[in-house]
């Protein structure tokens, strides 16, 4: 229960910092982070599209799901680091890189099993 209350408190602090930044600047930061995530994930996405040409559809969907998860984690991490650099605050939120590896390793076998059943 203590861990949950700590996470809720950190989320409230994060929202306070987020509300202090002007909306236009937040949107610009989000778009920059989206573009950076897309550029990082583009080679992997092209490789997966190439696999789709030669393999079955579920391999394509499995790979695409992983790329979406990894891209979202890059986006979240970049946006969080931007806020920390902007406000110089010591906010400890969840370590996103560790959770991206965990999420990817959990989603990959589930998607592979579901894809294999199709």
Residue 17 covered by a domain: no
Average per-residue pLDDT in the chain?
68
Domain residue limits at 29: 24-117
| The predicted structure's pLDDT at residue 90 | 47
Q: For residue 3, name the pLDDT band (cuts at 50, 70, 90).
A: low
Cα–Cα–Cα angle for 87, 91, 95, nearest 5°? Answer: 120
Residue 83 covered by a domain: yes
| 88 three-class SS | coil
Residue 100 covered by a domain: yes
Residue 6 covered by a domain: no
| Percentage of residues of the chain with pLDDT beyond 90 | 0
Residue 77 covered by a domain: yes
| Whether residue 73 has pLDDT greater than 60 | yes
Mean pLDDT, residues 49-65 taken together: 70
Determine the Cα–Cα distance for residues 112 and 66; give it in Å rounded to an integer: 11
Residue 91 covered by a domain: yes
Tell me the whole-structure pTM to 2 decimals.
0.39
Residue 13 covered by a domain: no
Residue 97 covered by a domain: yes
| Whether residue 6 has pLDDT greater than 70 | yes
Q: Which residue has the higher pLDDT, 115 or 56?
A: 56
Mean pLDDT, residues 5-20 taken together: 72
């Amino acid at each position: 229960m203590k861990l949950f209350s700590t996470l809720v408190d950190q989320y409230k602090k994060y929202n306070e910092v987020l509300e202090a930044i002007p909306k236009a600047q937040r949107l610009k930061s989000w778009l920059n982070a989206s573009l950076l995530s897309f550029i990082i994930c583009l080679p992997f996405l092209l490789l997966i599209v190439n696999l789709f040409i030669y393999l079955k559809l579920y391999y394509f969907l499995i790979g695409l799901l992983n790329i979406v998860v990894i891209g979202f984690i890059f986006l979240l991490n970049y946006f969080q680091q931007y806020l920390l650099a902007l406000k110089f605050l010591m906010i400890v939120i969840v370590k996103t890189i560790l959770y991206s590896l965990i999420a990817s390793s959990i989603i990959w076998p589930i998607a592979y099993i579901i894809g294999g059943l199709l």
